[in-house]
Structure 1
Amino acid sequence: MSEFLSHSHPRVALIGECMIELQQHANGTLKQSFGGDTLNTAVYLSRLLGSAAQVDYVTALGDDSFSDAMCAIWAEEGIGLSRVQRLPGRLPGLYCIQTDAQGERRFLYWRNEAAVRECFTTPAADPILAALPEYDVLYFSGITLAVLGEVGRARLLSTLGDARDRGARVVFDNNYRPRLWRSVDQARQAYRAVMHEVDLALLTEEDEQALFDYADSEAIMSAYRDMGVSEVVIKRGAQSCLVRADNRRYEVPAHPVHNVIDTTAAGDSFSAGYLARRLRGGSPQEAAEAGHRLASLVIQHPGALIPRSVMPA
């Protein structure tokens, strides 16, 4: 099985949005923190890789106290801030998590004026876009595609091509959120446009079925093979995940969890566990096991980010 990268100490850039997170408790009180799909993955990736990699986050924030707090937390987690824009007068987006008795969650969003929507359209974005092809791994999600808008998506697509020409690996997590798109057709067009630049696709099965109407896992695997994606992982919640890499297929069972508290960031943490193990030279099976292991811990705690003290060794 070929390695994901052929050298040590990779430079990884994750592109996306972090928002103000409010967790609503049963008594109606709210706990404030921060979260977002690619940011969750960045935090877990930084924790897992430590000094073995450089993990940078690429986004746009405001010049407010919430944005200051985000940057301080990311720095504590070892995440590089050199690609974070601070836009005067702007604010981050906000979302609220409401969790039911089974641990399933409902999200309410306030993000239309979020600073990240100008991430790749400001003059300050030019040197950031120029620097991205120097990274070894670029990571983004379907939510990234949605919040960047048409101009931002076009500039990202061009950057992905330049990065792969220089030998970078591109990782995509599908994370489809219908409310972020004008229509299903718009989302489909945006996803398909970037797919020919993707090396590793981390796919939630339900999202793929909602977006593309695939009948089953086999249809998803066939579609991504036809689009030229060399490594595909299908995440199926509490079920086993399916992996195709180097023309081989694997099915890796999930870790059973009997006390699910909150499924927030389950998929994001799986992706971090998988990618971290691949970057350390692990096989796809080992990577999937690592992804399941981390996700099983995350869903036993409230919120997107678990305490560092309970991270897997």
Structure 2
Amino acid sequence: MDMTLVHGSHARPLKVALVGECMIEMRGEPGASISQTFGGDTLNTAVYLARLSSRGAVVVDYMTAVGGDAFSVAMRRSWRTEGIADAHVRVIEDALPGLYFIQTDLHGERRFLYWRGEAAARRMFDGPEADAMLAALAEYDYIYLSGISLAILSGEGRERLMQALHLARQGGTRIVFDNNYRPHLWPNPEAARQAYRELLRLTDLALITWEDDAILFGYRDTEALFSAYAQEGIGEVALKRGADSCLIQCPAGRFEVPAQHVARVLDTTAAGDSFSAAYLACRLQGGDPEQAARWGHRLAAQVVQYRGALIPQAAMPSMGTPSFPSVAQV
């Protein structure tokens, strides 16, 4: 997959749209003190992508729907503070954002409680009011979305999004997909499999969590997964395996990149989202898949040492300059 910053004879910023849902994030102890911020898988990725991308080289946009309430206004303001554009955000006045509460155990593993059934983002591509947003997708060099992005939409919205993605890709837009399978968001596994397969046929870069695909598609091992993705014609697959090494399949071959050890994990929220953001940021700025996976491990290792989805700006690790290190084959 060509990730060059140069288009034709003129260098210009790459435009990346991330499609999904931002929610109100709450954490703390029920019945006690609770802190509030914002999060959501694609929003987390958008924030980390913007932080790791050279301004003037990559433009990061977030595409969603919000309400007309004070929380929606505040979340959009927080995106702009992070350098994320919100020109293609639909406002549905009679709707509200979704909300989730994070609970973590002694090992940092998290459990989420959700209130999102009537969230504005579910209706983002419904009706003629969404026509402009859908048409705008063709303006981007890259579109990033996740399995959750697909799951939250109405049937109408998902169908219209798929049609828009087909048209955008025909015009040269590349599609990046993070599988993020959440069974409770789908009516049944087969509905999810059908939607995933349709999107995978359009995907250029797949950022896959092993456990999610093993559950959804029943892969016996990573070899079966890589074979299935190759049959779909996906040129680059990064297989995330939590604290274990990342496996990469790309035109250069298949190889393994070890994870970074973390002595104390506080909260695994956004570990996968941050990996995906760092991987994509590195690839967009000239790094090869091996270095991109190292960026992903480095950021994820930092993120799990903080509570909540988004770590402070001051805690962001130094990544260095993307380069072209040799790829170790396995």
The 5 Å alignment of 1:1-313 reads: 3-5=2-4, 7=6, 8-25=12-29, 28-51=32-55, 52-246=57-251, 248-313=253-318
- TM-score, normalised by the number of residues in structure 1: 0.97
How far off is 1:3 after superposition?
Answer: 3.5
- Provide the secondary structure at the position in 1 that maps to 2:239: strand
Q: Take 1:225 and 1:155, find their aligned partners in 2: how far apart are those partners?
A: 26
How far off is 1:27 after superposition?
Answer: 7.7
- TM-score, normalised by the number of residues in structure 2: 0.92
CA deviations on 1:220-248 (whole Å, 9 max, x unpaired) are: 11111111111101100000000011151
Q: Take 2:130 and 2:34, find their aligned partners in 1: how far apart are those partners?
A: 35
Gaps of 5+ in 1: none
| Structure 1 pair 148–26 and aligned structure 2 pair: CA distance change class (3 A) | closer
Are 1:3 and 1:281, in contact at CA under 8 Å, matched by a contact in 2? no
Q: Take 2:195 and 2:179, find their aligned partners in 1: how far apart are those partners?
A: 11
Are 2:126 and 2:154, in contact at CA under 8 Å, matched by a contact in 1? no
CA deviations on 1:166-205 (whole Å, 9 max, x unpaired) are: 1111000000000000101111111111111000000000
Q: Take 1:158 and 1:45, find their aligned partners in 2: how far apart are those partners?
A: 26
- Provide the secondary structure at the position in 2 that maps to 1:13: strand
Are 2:275 and 2:300, in contact at CA under 8 Å, matched by a contact in 1? yes
* Cα RMSD, aligned residues only: 1.3
Report the number of matched residues: 312
The percentage of aligned residue pairs carrying the same residue is 56
How far off is 1:5 after superposition?
Answer: 3.4
How far off is 1:6 after superposition?
Answer: 5.1
Question: Where has structure 1 moved over 4 Å in runs of 4 or more?
Answer: none
Q: Take 1:306 and 1:95, find their aligned partners in 2: how far apart are those partners?
A: 18
- Provide the secondary structure at the position in 2 that maps to 1:20: strand
How far off is 1:24 after superposition?
Answer: 2.3
CA deviations on 1:87-122 (whole Å, 9 max, x unpaired) are: 112100011111000000111111110001110013
CA deviations on 1:5-41 (whole Å, 9 max, x unpaired) are: 3525200000000011111238843211110000000
- Provide the secondary structure at the position in 2 that maps to 1:221: helix
Q: Take 2:99 and 2:54, find their aligned partners in 1: how far apart are those partners?
A: 29
- Provide the secondary structure at the position in 2 that maps to 1:170: strand
Comparing 21-30 with 225-234, which one deviates more in the overlay?
A: 21-30
